[in-house]
Structure 1
Amino acid sequence: MTHEELEDAVPLYAVGALERTERQVLEAHLLSGCLACHASLKEHQSVAVLLPFSLTLTQPPRAIKAKIMAARTPAAAAESVTQPPNKPSLEPGEWMNHLFPPDEPSPASLFTWVTGVVLLALLAGGGYFAWDSYTRIAEDTTKLAQLQTELDRTRSALAERDRSLTASREDIQRRTSDVAALKDQLIQREAELDDAQAQLALRGGPPLRAPQDELGLLLRTPDVKAIPMAGTTMAKPAAGMLLFDARTKKAWLYAVNLPACPDGATYQVWAVYEKPVSVGLFCVNNGDTSHLFVTPLPNFKNAKQFIVSLEPVGGRSELSGPVYLSSQLP
């Protein structure tokens, strides 16, 4: 048979309609490796599989079975027994199994498959463990970084508090030194007044009772409220001490190292409540190193702060000039 005839026989082979001799020739041709016939056979087999579904089912006549059974004679039956039917070398489609025999699993391949599955499971478990460990380490690293940041912030805050405490201690020490110096000056002035009174008594004059005498008595009274005052940037060497006697409702301001009042200006004392309220005026002349100011102050307990500012002569109803002394009540 020519190749064209073999190609024409492929559709008949796909539906099993070839004679044995033609089928054997075509199968031998297919076994030789003809790619075109292989492809044609595959296409026709895919179509042949669907042919039964396109047929219309028809009910056979009832008498056909009896006719078929009657046609079988005992001689034909004997012949069929003595002569076995011719069996084709290859049934339709068996050449594919002949070309590509199916693989039968062997114990070795089964063992290899099981080993591969076990190894794959081990690799999956190891990968999950590594990923979980890496995730935990990353989380721990992040937490450590956050803790380190908080620790650094806390250390910075503590260092800032230490600096603030140091500055406050230095300010307290400076104010304590100013208060001690003021007390020494007051004691010295008190001693000078005592000497002056003694000399006046020897001369037969009347005894004096100046404000300094009352100030000396206040310094020896334990119930007197003492408020230290410090100089501002306008007069850093200046200092002051404000004493309040609850019995007489008087305030005593002893100020030192204040600059002399310029022409047309005077010092004004303010008690700060909700807003500054004027308490009184005093002036410091050239050459004066200290000044004593006495004024009634009935509302002392409600004051939040005392201020000494430089204002025009006659004072002002509101604080407007530069501040020279300032105190902060505890």
Structure 2
Amino acid sequence: MNAVLVPSVLALVLVISAFAGPRLIRTAAPLLMRVPRLAVMVLVAGVGFWALSVASLSLMLAWTVTGPSILPAPAADVCQRCLAAASPFGTVGTIDTVIPSALLLLLPALGALVATAIGIRRSLAIRRRTRVLSREILATARLQIVSEHRVLVLDDERPIAFSLPRRSGGVVVSTGLVTVLDADELAAVLTHEQEHVRGKHHLVLSLLDLMTASLRWVPLARDVAHAVPHYLEIAADNAARRQTGTPTLAGALLKLGSPDKVFTAAHVHDTASPVLHAAGTDRIARLVRPPRLRPAVLPAAALALLLAAFSAAAVAVHGPYLSVILTGCHLPAS
């Protein structure tokens, strides 16, 4: 009974967390935004271990059920012996079913292949979009030193500031930005953008997009994909605050306004945008008056508990299989 109870409980926790996770993330935000880098690591790791735990369900069932063989006799024998070596229950086949054990082993692998293919396709599309945007900017911008920062300057009256990956151009600003902001505000914005480049935030978003491209139908994965960019912006804000102070950064954000008022190109507004930008008046309230921490403590603790549970389940299930694969399944004939 325990062999069936464990995967049943795990399946229930996975379903509940998939739908309740977004609420936990939102209510834990006042605490997470105080430690944005840690928040990014927790959220990205949480989605990764959640997906591995889903794959664990099929692998756990392979330990507990038997069914008709779909493999040739020699291969089926090796499969059963490897299952026996990996299983913590000691024997394979506690319940007879019509589901072949080999199929349960193949499902996670097939799911991983499909998810990887979808993620790679999306990543290649983002990379193409980045190259197009980079070529457009490099064709018109000029390289300058502004407030001791090496940036690309566009001739544009609008106050524009954003960053691309370092290899695609790095920090980009407009002549309008240099005109609108005073020296300290300009230094705050440039420090913000340089933090995106220095911290490899574009790479973080690319990896997250690769992980969640096939999981956007899951509320937890979708919410994490939307939350992580905000925490990266907060991390960049913190770097700018340390350099120039909160009032200066808040004043610069107010002058920059909303990103929607600055960028009009479709490839910049896309959810898979290669751009990270300083604009965003919604962050001013958090800078000036951070929300209270107390209501966020329990939700943050629940998120940490879920991360620990999913990571433990993933290691406990995938670990024995990986060990058997690495040792070549050299088992005595049973």
Q: TM-score range by the shorter chain?
A: under 0.3
TM-score, with structure 1 as normaliser: 0.19
Higher fraction of helix? 2
Which has the bigger relative contact order, CA under 8 A and spacing at least 6?
2
TM-score, with structure 2 as normaliser: 0.19
Higher fraction of strand? 1
